Amino acid sequence: MDVEPLILSEREAAHALRISIRHLQRLRKNGKIPFVRLGDRRIGYSIHAIERWVAEQTTGNKKREVPDCPAPPELAHS
């Protein structure tokens, strides 16, 4: 039985995000990406937190307000 990991190592997270380890470290140090401290020196990245972070960073996913437009006269109810 294979168990999917809950936490990625720094190398695995950087690989999954297609960024360098150094860039991942900068994001972490600047408080831009969630991480888990697994000891005094070991850092991990929750798969679910990384997925949420990616979704939040994705542009174009924000709901846009659509202004109210009056219905054309032929569709307006009297």
Q: Does domain 7-57 have CATH number 3.40.50.720?
A: no
- Residue 1's pLDDT band, with cuts at 50, 70 and 90, is low
pLDDT > 70 fraction of the chain, expressed in percent and rounded? 74
Question: In whole angstroms, what is the distance from residue 5 CA to residue 39 CA?
Answer: 18
Question: In whole angstroms, what is the distance from residue 13 CA to residue 36 CA?
Answer: 12
> What tokens were used for 8?
């990625």
Mean pLDDT of 11-38: 96
- What is this structure's pTM? 0.69
DSSP-assigned letters across all residues of 25-73: HHHHHTT-S--EE-SSS-EEEEHHHHHHHHHHH-TT-SPPPPPP-PPPT
Q: What is the mean pLDDT of the chain?
A: 83
Mean pLDDT of 24-51: 95
pLDDT tens string 40-77: 999 999 999 999 999 998 877 555 454 454 544 554 44
Radius of gyration of the chain from its Cα atoms, rounded to whole angstroms: 21
